[in-house]
């Protein structure tokens, strides 16, 4: 499985079984996967306070898994309900997935408070 993000191509590798409640085991399972450094692709230059992060992808059984390590000195969200515009309410992590031969895509969002 290949994913393309701008000029970065990630290959989702098969992952060994791991306990998702143990961060050390999760990191170990994803350590051989290619990393994609996060950026603000819509901006010519990143904001001064932009905090870096890395994303790795993998699969096991019939699951596609995303592992993101995000750094931030001030983690917050003002989100209070489902289907709010999380990116306007504070910190948010967004995933966009699109099949190669299609124009439509699916979008997933998560915020620090579970929104």
Does residue 68 contact residue 54 with C-beta atoms inside 8 Å?
yes
Q: Is pLDDT larger for residue 9 or for residue 7?
A: 9
Structure confidence at residue 54 (pLDDT): 93
Does residue 57 contact residue 67 with C-beta atoms inside 8 Å?
yes
Structure confidence at residue 8 (pLDDT): 59
- Give residue-wise pLDDT tens across range 9-67: 677 899 999 999 999 999 999 998 988 888 887 788 888 888 889 999 999 999 999 99
| Angstrom distance (rounded) from CA 45 to CA 61 | 39
Q: Considering all CA atoms of the chain, what is the largest pairwise distance in Å, rounded to the nearest integer?
A: 41
- Give residue-wise pLDDT tens across range 67-112: 999 998 889 999 999 889 998 999 999 888 887 788 898 899 999 9
22 to each of 32, 69, 84, how far by Cα in Å? 18, 14, 30
């Amino acid at each position: 499985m290949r994913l393309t993000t701008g000029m970065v191509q990630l290959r989702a590798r098969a992952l060994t079984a791991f306990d998702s409640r143990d961060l050390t085991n999760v990191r170990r399972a994803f350590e051989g996967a290619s990393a994609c450094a996060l950026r603000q692709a819509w901006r010519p230059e990143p904001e001064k306070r932009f905090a870096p992060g890395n994303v790795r992808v993998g699969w096991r059984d019939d699951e596609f898994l995303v592992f993101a390590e995000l750094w931030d000195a001030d983690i917050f969200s003002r989100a209070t309900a489902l289907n709010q515009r999380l990116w306007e309410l504070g910190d948010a992590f967004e995933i966009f997935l699109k099949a190669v031969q299609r124009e439509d895509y699916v979008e997933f969002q998560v915020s620090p408070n579970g929104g």
